[in-house]
């Protein structure tokens, strides 16, 4: 069993189980929009970190119709696959296709991880870009069947120490492609809100292990306010 480094505070998790994906999506959308209103009211901008994979697609699609000032939003990415910038496998391409290319968010406000440059170079470049942000307003994350989140995988470095780098180069990732870039656990934890979206029976084991207190990457995301996990019944009870 992998021990979460003691440097991180214990994770506070609020579990929210929904009977179906529609009710989960409605709640997720309401949370994102509420966080955006609060952030824009408090500091004039909304810095959101986007999750990759397939689960967030419906949420991103529903954000197309949001009644908001898109010029105040800044879209960051929690991780990226090392592939050409426009490759369909890219998390940034998925977010553009489902949402970002359908709203008037300024191009300068979308901050893709330059993973086409290779993991090491991209990690250095993105860490430099992230210096302008102290805490994110909202971090969206998914959960893998092995308990990974972003591109923090079991058996790899999660960057969970307070002095860990902000961005990690990932090699030999068990979920293809093998080369990736990921914000570290400590950087993902510097957030006012962290929201996990988890759907499907395939995630049931990972949720059970997480609830059992085992050290999985998702359990190393420990922001001061705690994390909210929105899961459907298939993934939960
Ligand atoms: C990725 C994601 C990854 C994803 C989980 C869940 O690059 O694939 O960042 O962490 O969120 O693997 O993926 P699904 O939502 O497709 O189940």
pLDDT in tens, 98-123: 999 999 999 999 999 999 999 999 99
> What does the angle CA 63 – CA 153 – CA 149 come to, to the nearest 5 degrees?
20
User: Span 17-236: which CATH code?
Assistant: 3.40.50.1360
What spacing in Å lies between the alpha carbon of 201 and ligand 1's midpoint? Answer: 15
> What is the band of 1 on the pLDDT scale with cuts at 50, 70, 90?
very low
Overall residue count recorded for the chain in this entry: 237
Q: Is the peptide bond before 177 cis (omega within 30 degrees of 0)?
A: yes
> Residue 135, class by beta-carbon neighbours within 10 Å (0-12 exposed, 13-18 middle, 19+ buried)?
middle
Q: Which atom of ligand 1 is nearest to the CA of 78?
A: 9
**Which atom of ligand 1 lies closest to the CA of 54?**
16
Ligand 1 environment, Cβ below 6 A: 51-55, 79, 81, 91, 142-144, 148-151, 175
- The burial of 96, by beta-carbon neighbours within 10 Å (0-12 exposed, 13-18 middle, 19 or more buried), is given as middle
Helix and strand totals (H; E) in the chain: 6, 9
Query: What's the CA-to-centroid distance between 172 and ligand 1, angstroms?
Result: 16
Specify the ligand 1 atom closest to the Cα of 203. 17
Which atom of ligand 1 is nearest the CA belonging to 197? 15
Q: How far apart are CA 134 and CA 47, in angstroms?
A: 10
Whose alpha carbon is nearest atom 13 of ligand 1? 53
Close Cβ partners of 96 (under 8 Å, ≥ 6 residues apart) = 110
Residue 237: per-residue pLDDT: 79
Give CA–CA dist 88/95, Å, rounded.
10
How confident is residue 222, by pLDDT bands cut at 50, 70 and 90? very high
pLDDT value for 8: 53
Confidence of residue 3 (pLDDT cuts 50, 70, 90): very low
């Amino acid at each position: 069993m992998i021990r979460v480094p003691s440097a991180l505070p214990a994770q506070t998790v609020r579990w929210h189980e929904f009977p179906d994906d529609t009710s989960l999506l409605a709640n997720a959308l309401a949370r994102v929009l509420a966080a955006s209103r609060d952030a824009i009211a408090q500091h004039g901008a909304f810095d959101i970190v986007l999750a990759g994979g397939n689960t967030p697609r419906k949420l991103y699609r529903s954000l197309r119709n949001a009644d908001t000032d898109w010029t105040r939003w800044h879209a960051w990415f929690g991780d990226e696959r090392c592939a050409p910038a426009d490759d369909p496998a890219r998390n940034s391409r998925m977010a553009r296709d489902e949402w970002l290319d359908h709203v008037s968010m300024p191009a300068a406000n979308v901050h893709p991880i330059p993973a086409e440059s290779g993991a090491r170079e991209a990690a250095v470049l993105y860490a430099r870009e992230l210096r302008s942000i102290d805490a994110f307003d909202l971090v969206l994350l998914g959960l893998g069947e092995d308990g990974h989140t972003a591109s923090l995988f079991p058996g790899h470095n999660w960057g969970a120490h307070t002095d860990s780098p902000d961005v990690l180069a990932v090699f030999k990732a068990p979920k293809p492609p093998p080369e990736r870039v990921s914000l570290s656990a400590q950087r993902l934890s510097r957030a006012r809100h962290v929201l996990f979206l988890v759907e499907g029976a395939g995630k049931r084991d990972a949720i059970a292990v997480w609830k059992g207190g085992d050290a999985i990457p998702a359990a190393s995301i420990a922001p001061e306010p705690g994390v909210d996990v929105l899961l459907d019944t298939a993934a939960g009870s």
